[in-house]
Amino acid sequence: MVDSAGDSDVSWVMYRDRPEWKDLIPCPENDGPNPVVVIAHSEKFEDVYDYFRAILRKNEMSERALHLTTDALELNPANYTVWQYRRDLLRELNIDLRMELDYVENVIKQSSKNYQVWHHRRVVVDWLQDPSRELELTGDALIQDPKNYHAWQHRQWAIKTFFLYDKEMSFVEELINEDVRNNSAWNQRYFLMNNHDGWSDLNVQREICYTLGKIKFVKNNESAWNYLRGVLFHDKRGLSGNAVVTNFCEELYKNKCRSPYLLAFIVDACDEAIKKDDTSCFHNVDRAIDLCQALAGKYDKFRSKYWNYMCERFKKYQISMKPCSENNVDNNVT
């Protein structure tokens, strides 16, 4: 509950002291006879919401009711009931919705992680069928917090609803260049590929090359490794069959890279190859066991139980499978 306005505003006049509100009897909050926790609201907060409940009960559609919702939202911008009543007032009174966008933008600047204000914004934009301000608004919010979920959600809605894809990839690449670990930006890239560019073989290979370049720059970057998995989901060769990816991983491994994300990727590639009965010197059960043991004991101890479980799974595979040729490269983890 937000009660930021307090009682410090000396120019504030209580609703109970305003002549134009004398016709309305305030409706105090009713917590029942034995409230478990009584919230200590300011006098101003109680005054505003007593009158809001009164006007809500009356279902009054008036300019003064709209102004009252503004005061109520200043005190608690996350109150769903106030936002819904405000939307009813906007439609009933035929209010200029572009002025409402200005108002909502100001609220977002003060409360950018508030779901209700973003939802209200979406409704108003949908009524207007005008998304011309949304990319700039969400872009500004993401400058303040690149991982603001509500801003990303609103941005994706606007892009998908109004087909605003043209410059989005450039925006995403700028964010990734600024912070290669920005998982939200990687997610947005996948959103663009999934909903606009598509997963043609050419696009898949392009995305693989782009992602490998970012991994080479920062090898211990979970976001990029996860994106690579997502891209390879659209490659008919899978995790284990793309020679570019396999060679890249082997090169990292030979150069002593022991990122847990690299090792986990190789384990999953081994698992996929084993299930397809398509094992090789790179993707085989012995190597998977060695890597799982290394992850559990040294490189990813936090998930040791998972890696021990995977190790036991591979040992069961081992019983029914022929060992790799004696000419295999030494795949022991060092």
pLDDT in tens, 23-57: 999 998 876 566 665 566 799 999 999 999 999 99
The confidence score (pLDDT) of residue 283 equals 81
CA distance 187 to 164: 17
pLDDT of the residue at 330: 45
Residue 332 has what pLDDT?
52
Has residue 333 got a pLDDT over 70? no
**Residue 278 phi/psi, 5° resolution?**
-130, 45
* pLDDT value of residue 280: 75
Q: What is the pLDDT of residues 222-258, one digit of tens each?
A: 999 999 999 999 999 999 999 999 999 999 999 999 9
User: What percent of the chain stands above pLDDT 90?
Assistant: 84
Distance CA 77, CA 70 (A): 9
Q: In 10 A of CB 41, how many CB atoms?
A: 16
Q: What is the pLDDT of residue 41?
A: 74
- Res. 334: pLDDT tops 60: no
User: ∠ at Cα 73 (69, 74), nearest 5°?
Assistant: 120
Strands (E), 119-162: none
DSSP 269-334: HHHHHHHTT---SSS-HHHHHHHHHHIIIII-GGGHHHHHHHHHHHHHHHHHSPPPPTT-------
Q: Where are the domains of the chain?
A: 1-95, 237-334
Considering the chain, what is the average pLDDT of its residues?
91
Are the C-beta atoms of 277 and 320 separated by less than 8 Å? no
Q: How many CA atoms lie within 13 A of 108 on its CB side?
A: 27
Active site residues: 113
Residues 118-133: what's their mean pLDDT? 98
For the cut 80, the answer to whether the pLDDT of residue 289 exceeds it is yes
Is the pLDDT reported for residue 329 higher than 70?
Answer: no
Say which amino acid occupies 92: E
Instruction: Give the global pTM.
Output: 0.87
Place of tokens 């009960």: 57
Fold (CATH) for 1-95: 1.25.40
CB contact set of 42 (below 8 Å; sequence gap of 6+)? 3, 5, 6, 7
